[in-house]
């Protein structure tokens, strides 16, 4: 079968949308770290829409951890197919990614960051990719950060971490007399832009104080909330894409039709007109972030850990389990919503109904095991902050503690069966998993909450309930 590439685009059937602009005239205005499925499903599609009217916002992708995306997309000239899942699937070839660099091309990464055309550096490197401690500031004890601090003592050093690359790239811009940039974090972290700003400046202060000052003065780190459910690519998708497009695509991407991107209106220099792609610019993004992290990602993780414990496979399966779906809805309406201040114009009750409908979408096969990755990094933002606030406000926390109990059981089962898990803290988590109280004592995950007897008791009751096959702890 012929492979998707610039030369074969003309062979696409009319029903498959393709770039409506001359790709050879596109300039790279964005350097994006972490061009994985989420970026390609969402932000790259928005830039693809924008490129039809402004050719200055092409993307150079940078994969620091693996060659997979570069190997798949380079023979395809950066092109890939995006499937929008719904009752009828729609296919669209995205052209905004011009090339993908890997860590083996440090000069090219540096040149891209320090290029006059580059005005935005964005990231989806997942929660763990920022090397933050439990307090949300840069963890200088993190091996990748320690290595970068050490390496930076040598002229012409090559960073390993994303934050290291930011400092190195921004330093090169300063020395070249170029303007500052917008650094746009697109990961699911509360206050993501501000956290990355504080982390970047902290690292720069250690490496080059002059650059730290320059970053603070000339760069902008907007907060951003990005939302679109993006199940991992599987062979079923590859086959459907081949059938629909008539071309082989080594790494197509799928997502739900729904998409939302709210960016704080705080740019260094020009703001790309992403409004044409449905992006909202807002003066305050935190309420949107909190609503999404707490009311979508929180219940997502709850469905994942509880659902896996019940032998279920996908989010839609979990929603078809009536008891579990009812639990998720009560968790959202009664326990999480009281901690969320609705952003202007958002009706929380409606938002909850919409999220539940998105979870139940039968056209989407979203594996619970995918959502279960990196629990130690996700749960603090998704459920623990809400739990802390509920405790402080004197609200019950029994239901909020149940997904945590389910996570602890998930860890215990993995340890018992000798399986590993995907989590940067896999080793200490699995080592402690046989005694859940020792996991709760991990301050890097739970902070002080792990010592709060009300929380410990609620988790204990949750574990007992789950062991008994119930989703509600027995009333005391």
**CA trace torsion 455, 460, 464, 467 (10° rounding):** 100
**386 sits near ligand CS2 (criterion: CB under 6 A):** no
Q: How far is the CB of 458 from ligand CS2 (least distance, A)?
A: 23
Is the torsion defined by CA of 417, 301, 383, 320 positive or negative?
negative
The correct pick among 5, 89, 280, 370 for binding ligand CS2 (CB under 6 A) is 370
Q: Does 371 bind ligand CS2 (CB under 6 A)?
A: yes
If you write DSSP's letter for every residue of 106-165 in order, what string do you get? HHHHHHHHT-TT--EEEE---GGGG-B-TTSSB-TTSHHHHHHHHHTTSTT----SHHHH
Task: Tell me the window of 101-109, 223-231, 337-345, 459-467 that interacts with ligand CS2 (CB under 6 A).
Answer: 223-231
Which residue stretch of 84-92, 109-117, 132-140, 224-232 sits at the interface with ligand CS2 (rule: CB under 6 A)? Answer: 224-232
Among the residue ranges 61-69, 221-229, 437-445, 448-456, the one whose residues contact ligand CS2 (CB under 6 A): 221-229
Let me know: does 284 contact 247? Beta carbons within 8 Å: no
**Cβ at position 422, least distance to ligand CS2 in Å:** 11
Smaller CB separation from ligand CS2, 109 or 371: 371
CB of 371 to ligand CS2, least distance (A): 4
Q: If binding means CB under 6 A, how many residues of this protein chain bind ligand CS2? A: 9
Shortest Å, Cβ 385 to ligand CS2: 15
Of 268 and 355, nearer to ligand CS2 (C-beta) is: 355
Q: Alpha-carbon distance 393 to 151, whole Å?
A: 47
Decide: helix, strand or coil at residue 81.
strand
Among 300, 310, 399, 432, binds ligand CS2 (CB under 6 A): 300
Q: State the Cα–Cα distance between residues 361 and 229, nearest whole angstrom.
A: 11
Q: Of 20-28, 225-233, 335-343, 424-432, which segment contacts ligand CS2 by CB under 6 A? A: 225-233
Q: Which value, to the nearest 10 degrees, does the dihedral of the CA atoms of residues 388, 391, 393, 395 take?
A: 120
Select from 93, 167, 196, 229 the one that contacts ligand CS2 (CB under 6 A).
229
Name the residue nearer to ligand CS2 (CB basis): 148 or 423: 423
How many helices (H) and strands (E) would you count in the chain? Answer: 22, 11
Per-residue b or e along 260-290, where b marks 16 or more CB atoms closer than 10 Å to that residue's CB: ebbbbebbbeebbebeebebebbeebbbbbb
| Contact track, ligand CS2, 183-202, x by CB under 6 A | -----x--------------
Least distance (Å) between residue 111 CB and ligand CS2: 32
Nearest to 461 by CA among 379, 370, 399, 385: 399
The DSSP secondary-structure symbol of 277 reads G
Nearer to ligand CS2, 58 or 403 (CB): 403
Cα–Cα distances (Å) from 443 to 267, 364, 449, 453, in that order, read 35, 36, 8, 15
**Residue 297 sits in the site that holds ligand CS2 (CB under 6 A):** yes
Cα dihedral across residues 433, 438, 439, 444: positive or negative: negative
Q: How far is the CB of 257 from ligand CS2 (least distance, A)?
A: 13
Please choose, from the candidates 164, 162, 186, 166, the residue with its C-alpha nearest in 3D space to the C-alpha of residue 174.
166
Q: What is the smallest separation between the CB atom of 114 and ligand CS2, expressed in angstroms?
A: 32
Which residues lie near ligand CS2 (CB under 6 A)?
Answer: 188, 227-229, 297, 300, 370-371, 378
């Amino acid at each position: 079968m012929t492979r998707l590439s610039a030369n074969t685009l003309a062979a696409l059937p009319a029903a498959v949308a393709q770039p409506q602009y001359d790709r050879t005239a596109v300039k790279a205005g964005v350097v994006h770290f972490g061009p994985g499925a989420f970026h390609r499903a969402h932000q790259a599609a928005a830039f693809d829409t924008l490129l039809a009217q402004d050719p200055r916002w092409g993307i150079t992708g940078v994969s620091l951890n693996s060659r997979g995306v570069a190997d798949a997309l380079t023979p395809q000239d950066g092109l890939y197919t995006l499937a929008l899942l719904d009752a009828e699937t729609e296919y669209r070839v995205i052209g905004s990614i011009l090339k993908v660099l890997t860590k083996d091309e440090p000069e090219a990464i540096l040149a891209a960051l320090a290029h006059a055309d580059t005005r935005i550096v964005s990231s989806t490197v997942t929660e763990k990719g920022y090397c933050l401690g439990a307090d949300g500031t840069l963890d200088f004890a993190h091996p990748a950060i320690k290595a970068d601090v050490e390496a930076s003592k040598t002229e012409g050093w090559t960073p390993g971490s994303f934050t290291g690359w930011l400092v190195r790239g921004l330093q090169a811009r300063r020395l070249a007399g170029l303007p500052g940039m917008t650094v746009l974090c697109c990961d699911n972290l509360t206050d993501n832009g501000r956290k990355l700003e504080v982390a970047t400046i902290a690292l720069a202060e250690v490496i080059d104080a002059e650059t730290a000052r320059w970053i603070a003065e000339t760069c902008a780190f907007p907060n951003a909330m990005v939302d679109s459910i993006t199940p991992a690519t599987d062979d079923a998708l590859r086959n459907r894409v081949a059938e629909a497009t008539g071309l082989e695509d080594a790494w197509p991407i799928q997502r739900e039709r729904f998409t939302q991107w709210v960016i704080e209106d705080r740019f260094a220099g020009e703001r790309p007109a992403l409004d044409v792609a449905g992006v909202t610019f807002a003066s305050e993004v935190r309420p949107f972030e909190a609503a999404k992290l707490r009311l979508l990602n929180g219940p997502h993780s709850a469905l994942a850990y509880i659902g896996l414990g019940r032998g279920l496979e996908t989010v839609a399966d979990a929603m078809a389990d009536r008891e579990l779906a009812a639990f998720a809805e009560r968790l959202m309406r009664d326990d999480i919503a009281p901690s969320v201040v609705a952003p202007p114009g958002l009706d929380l009750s409606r938002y909850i109904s919409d999220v539940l409908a998105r979870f139940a979408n039968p056209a989407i096969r979203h594996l619970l095991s995918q959502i279960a990755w990196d629990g130690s990094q996700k749960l603090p933002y998704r459920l623990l902050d809400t739990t802390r606030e509920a405790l402080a406000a004197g609200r019950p926390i029994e239901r909020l503690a149940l997904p945590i109990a389910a996570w602890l059981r998930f860890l215990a089962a993995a340890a018992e069966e000798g399986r590993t898990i995907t989590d940067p803290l896999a080793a200490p988590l699995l080592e402690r998993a046989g005694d859940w109280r020792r996991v709760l004592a991990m301050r890097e995950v739970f902070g002080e909450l792990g010592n709060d007897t009300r929380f410990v008791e609620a988790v204990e009751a949750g574990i007992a309930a789950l062991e008994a096959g119930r989703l509600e702890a027995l009333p005391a």
